[in-house]
Amino acid sequence: MNARKWQWRPHASGSISLCMIMKNESKVLERCLTGVRGLVSEIIIADTGSTDNSIKLAESLGAKVFSIPWTDDFAAARNAAIERATSDWILILDPDEVLSIKDHDKIRQYTSDTRFSAYRIHTRNYSHDGRQQGALPNTNDYPEGAGYPVYIISTKTRLFRASCGIRFRGVWHELLDWDIESNKIPVASVEVPVHHYPHEICQESYKAKALFYNRLGKKRSSNGPTIHKAGTNCLFLIWSSRITNKPPTAQPRPLNWAFLLRADSFRRQGPSTNSVQRILASSLSRKAFVCYILI
């Protein structure tokens, strides 16, 4: 592969820094960076210990790469990349994700809108398993989804003004939304999708992935209240054992979004004794409670 170095330049509606973290992502990295060519002014990548040629490849594609020690904290790694950004806006992607070139103009329009300082963007998590909860048929409106019959939608903040000063929170399932809500940052949801291929993992197997997230889950719950510690540790152990006893091709099914919405409602109420009793009163609520103690 003859990768050539690109020159990243700002556009009239505000410069954008792509901020990423990576480890051993050489198989998918060029695809991701190609998707933002002509859109972003710079690419900032925090590498957490790559042993393949990811760093060399990223630099050949014009990225600014720096190495940081991995501390089992996704938020800390992402924030380290954000701290080095110099553009007006920050865009968040992972190496196994792609932004379609045909959506570049829409992204530029978002950065020109003075009403909002952050945008929540849909992610299409592509899959071959139509039995997954929340799976939607792929209408093939994007070439990035070719070959996948279904996808599952998730939404999170990925584009925001650097001047807002918001940062990620959470060692795992890290989010910007805590800072956005607490600081009352004006945010909008948009239809432009990020294309994600969750089956492409950097771990050697799904067993390694399960063990990795088990360790992070225990660290995350250790800083929370007692109800979070007991529930989260138990659920992570169950989840890990289920994954490690399945064939390497098996993947955990995502929880229904109804459970997540109910879980968010419980989180806002707080973990009082009465709310926990209500949570355990129905099947839907019990599943929502699982989400509640995981998020």
Q: Token match 């990576």: residue?
A: 22
Tell me whether residue 257 is exposed, middle or buried, using C-beta atoms within 10 angstroms of its C-beta: 0 to 12, 13 to 18, 19 or more.
middle
Q: What is the pLDDT of residue 132?
A: 86
Asked whether residue 6 is assigned to any structural domain, the reply reads no
Q: Is the residue at 165 inside a domain?
A: yes
- Domain total in the chain: 2
Q: How far apart are CA 289 and CA 59, in angstroms?
A: 44
Tell me, what's the pLDDT at 218?
52
- What's the pLDDT score for residue 208? 53
* pLDDT of 275: 45
pLDDT in tens, 107-135: 999 999 999 999 999 999 999 999 888 89
Residues in the chain, overall count: 295
**Domain end residue (candidates: 196, 231, 254):** 196
Domain span at 27: 16-196
Q: Are residues 157 and 235 in the same domain?
A: no
Extract the residue ranges of the chain whose pLDDT is less than 70. 1-13, 171-172, 200-295
Domain endpoint, select from 154, 175, 196: 196
Q: What is the pLDDT of residue 224?
A: 45
Question: Does residue 222 form part of some domain?
Answer: yes
Tell me the per-residue pLDDT of 218-262, one tens digit each, with 9 for 90 and over.
555 455 444 444 444 444 444 444 444 443 333 334 444 344 444
270 part of a folded domain: yes
DSSP conformation class of 108: H
Same structural domain for residues 103 and 211?
no
Give the per-residue pLDDT at 170: 78
